Amino acid sequence: MNNAILNDLAALVTPSLARSRYGSPEPQIAVRMPERNAHHRKLSAALHALAAQVELATPAGERWIVQTEMQADDHGRVYLELATDHAEEANRGLALLRKIAG
């Protein structure tokens, strides 16, 4: 996997299994820019680049939706909106995100 854009932006990425506001599993990659007052476009570019990598790596049979969320100028996340709340789908999604995050 090529993380050149993320490396150029010096973004820190952390995959984890979060919970949606409804309590269902939500695999995610948290993205944090190292500088506190990073321009929001830098974060937006990092999120979109990462989301594109996730989309390209997602097997054709998976039904989740890749989403991005900016939480502040210096951090946000890429997450999978799962088609089901089954642990198996969440584990497959998290495994993919861990592979992407390196």
Listed in sequence order, the residues at least 6 apart from 7 whose beta carbon sits closer than 8 Å to its beta carbon are: none
- Per-residue pLDDT tens listing for the chain (102 residues): 456 656 655 678 899 999 988 999 999 999 988 877 767 888 898 899 999 999 999 999 999 999 999 988 788 999 999 999 899 999 999 999 999 998
Q: What is the DSSP letter of 34?
A: S
Nearest to 26 by CA among 91, 100, 99: 91
Domain, as residue range, for 94 = 4-101
Per-residue model confidence (pLDDT) at position 6: 60
Q: How many domains does the chain have?
A: 1
The C-alpha angle 14, 16, 17, rounded to 5 degrees, equals 160
Per-residue model confidence (pLDDT) at position 5: 58
| 40 neighbors 73 (Cβ within 8 angstroms) | yes
Per-residue model confidence (pLDDT) at position 1: 42
What stretches of 1-102 show up as alpha helix (H) in DSSP? 4-9, 40-57, 87-101
Single pTM value for the model: 0.88
CATH of the domain at 93: 3.30.70
